[in-house]
Amino acid sequence: MMFLRFCSHSIHIITFTILVFTQGFLATTFTIVNKCGYAVWPGILANADSPKLETTGFELGPSATRSFEAPPHWSGRLWGRTSCTFDPNSGQGSCGTGDCGSNQVECNGAGASTATLIEFSIGSGTQDFYDVSLVDGYNLPVMVEPDGGSGSCMSTGCVKDLNRMCPEELRVGEGQGCRSACEAFGTPEYCCSGAYSSPSTCASSSYSQFFKSACPRSYSYAYDDPTSTFTCTGADYTITFCPSLSSRKSSMVSTGHGSTEDNGSLLGDNPGSTVGSWISGFLTGNSSSSTLPYVALFYHTTLPSFLISFFIPLLFFDF
């Protein structure tokens, strides 16, 4: 009997140790889906304090999907490039929108302009922060959907085709993209720089209001309101370019005019459960206020399923 009790306690300790050990090594999976009728070249840029992922840029054909992982505490941005041409021999080339200036398919640490940005700050058993930003312009409709996880975990994005609605002075080429006012005019009041480098001096402009009215859940300028940042704990994420109406998991309601709108989810005015601004979350440390349940931790690791099936029942069984 004492031997059985010893085994029981030993198994509990081993199980608890595995749970604690794996908590710091949870990987988040990003799945990129291209539902556009043409190729998109996703670009990925890690922040200065985050490692590069397995790729910084690649081609994704129509209806294609690619997944890759990000480690805990990773932060950075993703976007789609369009109208790209790369020489098959030298690999050199460029893109019509979202170009990262590397002259290669891989962005290699270079950012983008005139692109719909998807920004992430991944936790480690704590909250992830994510948003869609039009601060640097727009080129593709996009939707971000958490898969699993706990917390509010709401979908967000900008699903309207703003290229067709773009003011002429912001338009790229024949309508491939829509520049930000900062990129188009380069003045401090539009770029929130110089004398306009604070929330009290840099106000929303008619151009940022154009982006905000079309996609109220996306950031439209540097000091936009904080309702465009979303949180989820322990989730993977699907990022869809050119999402179809049938792919939206958010509730949809008829407008009575033969069209549909998100019921306060992607196109509506009421974001619902959101958090403070991206920056304030980092400064105040609010992103560490919640933790994953043990079972969710196990589920989210890459441990073999037979180990999960064996160890979890032992947490609740008393020899």
Q: Which amino acid type is present at position 203?
A: A
Q: For the chain, list the domains and their CATH numbers.
A: 1-26+294-319 (no CATH), 28-291 (2.60.110.10)
User: Is the separation of the CB atoms in 65 and 32 below 8 Å?
Assistant: yes
Q: Which tokens hold the place of 181? A: 């006012």
In the prediction, which pLDDT does 279 show?
36
Burial per residue of 7-37, b for 16 or more beta-carbon CB atoms within 10 angstroms, e otherwise: eeeebbeebeebbeebbeebebbbebbbbbe
The structure's pTM equals 0.73
In the prediction, which pLDDT does 26 show?
79
In the prediction, which pLDDT does 78 show?
97
Q: In the chain, which residues have pLDDT < 50?
A: 3-4, 6-7, 10-24, 246-265, 267-319
In the prediction, which pLDDT does 5 show?
52
